[in-house]
Amino acid sequence: MIAPPHFWWRPRASAIALLLSPFSLVYGALSGARMRRPPVARAEVPVVCIGNYVVGGAGKTPTALAVARIAIALGRRPGFLTRGYGGKVPTPVLVDPLRHGAAEVGDEALLLAELGPVVVSPDRPKGLPLLAEAGADFIIMDDGFQNPSLYKDLRIVVVDGATGIGNGLVLPAGPLRVALRTQIARTDAAIIVGPGKAGDHVLRRLARAGRPILRARLQPLAHRDWDGPPFLAFAGIGRPEKFFNTLDHAGAPIREVRAFPDHHVLAEEEAQKLLSRAEREGLRLITTTKDYARLSSAKGSAALLRQRTEIFEVGMAFEDERRLAALIETMLRRFVAAPPNGGFAGSDSKISPKTTG
């Protein structure tokens, strides 16, 4: 994936953005019309969608894992539905971490599989029967907020506090996938991740629309002893600098960093360069869980890189996780009170696409 242009993330529209704005008007009209379509299918169990307003990462996968843990605490058996960005499966697949690699199903799918069954399906409704067979009674969609094909019972949007929505323009002039007004109208709650004032505009718009706003941050999952040689840190995620800053704040001795585009698959030459640089300078290697997962089926130098690389694991920490749990509980009560097609959303429910009117 090509790295997003820097002018997207400036507070004001640059000359290039203004030149591209006519194309944004066309793209925005088409993407907005698509998002406003009524869903064509509905699952027989609750569906929580974790999305974001812009292109790139904002913390969707850690949020999806946090929602899964809450669902488990509430007695549910969560399953994940994703299109498997970065993978190449053409039809629905139930992910088997022992058999599938990131090249097939994407890196997020391998991470999500730690907490429940994961189905990768380019066509989301077609993946529902596989989740039913796996015993899931609660579906979490990692991404798909703008996709209208499947009804969502709870739509949660994640916003990076440091970058917000950039210049506020729609692709290709800016990072927005759809005009902000259209997206906020379909938002049930928002999570602002990390500090920063770039998200203030979004905060004000969400507050005016009466949407619940939660605060969270990414933090290390465990305390680490950083004694030893310094690190060469590398990452191919939405904002690699966020990973490097988190490492630095955790006290890790970092000598060098290498940033790659989001979902980047390291070539043989790139892996060899990282290994050579670390060996020459006496550095340890460290990366994100996503990058490590992407190396799961690697060969050659990339496989050796995986063996020699440490993982820095982070999770989503909420200022008040009870508010998120309350949102989920309210959704579940609403679902049980008015289940789709008259069915009961209990432990024996099936998951299958239902046409909606």
DSSP per-residue codes, 325-344: HHHHHHHHHHHHHS-GGG--
- Residue corresponding to tokens 């990131």: 102
Q: Which of 70, 246, 54, 85 is nearest to 157 (CA)?
A: 54
Per residue in 243-277, pLDDT (tens digit) is 999 999 999 999 999 999 888 989 999 999 999 99
Both tokens of residue 161?
């506090």
Helix axes of 301-308 and 268-281: crossing angle, nearest 10 degrees: 40
Length of the chain: 357
Query: In the chain, what are the domain boundaries?
Result: 47-218+316-342, 223-312
Q: Residue 345 has what pLDDT? A: 37
DSSP summary character for residue 127: G
Distance from C-alpha of 47 to C-alpha of 351, rounded to nearest angstrom: 10
b/e map of 248-273 (b: 16 or more CB within 10 Å)?
A: eeeebebeebbbbebbbbbeeebbbe
Per residue in 188-237, pLDDT (tens digit) is 999 999 988 877 888 899 999 999 999 999 999 888 889 999 999 999 99
Decide: 198 and 231 in contact? Cβ < 8 Å: no
- For 278-327, how does the pLDDT look when each residue is reduced to its tens digit (9 = 90+)? 999 999 999 999 999 999 878 899 999 999 999 999 999 999 999 999 99
Give alpha helix (H) positions in 74-137. Answer: 102-105, 107-112, 128-133
Spatial CB neighbours of 98, under 8 Å, sequence gap ≥ 6: none
Cβ-Cβ contacts under 8 Å for 323 (sequence gap 6 or more)? 212, 214
Q: Evaluate if residue 349 carries a pLDDT over 90.
A: no
19 pLDDT more than 70: yes
User: What is the edge-to-edge ordering of all strands in the sheet holding 231-235?
Assistant: 254-259, 231-235, 284-287, 309-311
Q: In what order do the strands lie in the sheet with 314-318?
A: 93-94, 118-120, 78-82, 138-142, 47-51, 154-160, 189-193, 213-220, 314-318
By C-alpha distance, which of 3, 26, 5, 29 is closest to 174?
5
DSSP tag of 166? T
Q: What CATH number is given for 47-218+316-342 in this structure?
A: 3.40.50.300
Domain 223-312 class in CATH = alpha beta
Provide the mean pLDDT of the chain.
91
Is 223-312 the same fold as 47-218+316-342? yes
CB 197 within 8 A of CB 163: no
Distance, CA of 338 to CA of 346 (rounded, Å): 12
Cis peptide preceding 172, ω within 30 of 0: yes
Count of C-beta atoms within a 10 Å radius of residue 355: 10
Rounded to two decimals, what is the model's pTM?
Answer: 0.90
DSSP E strand stretches across the chain = 47-51, 78-82, 93-94, 118-120, 138-142, 154-160, 189-193, 213-220, 231-235, 254-259, 284-287, 309-311, 314-318
Which of the four pLDDT bands, split at 50, 70 and 90, describes residue 2? low
256 φ/ψ angles, rounded to the nearest 5 degrees: -140, 155
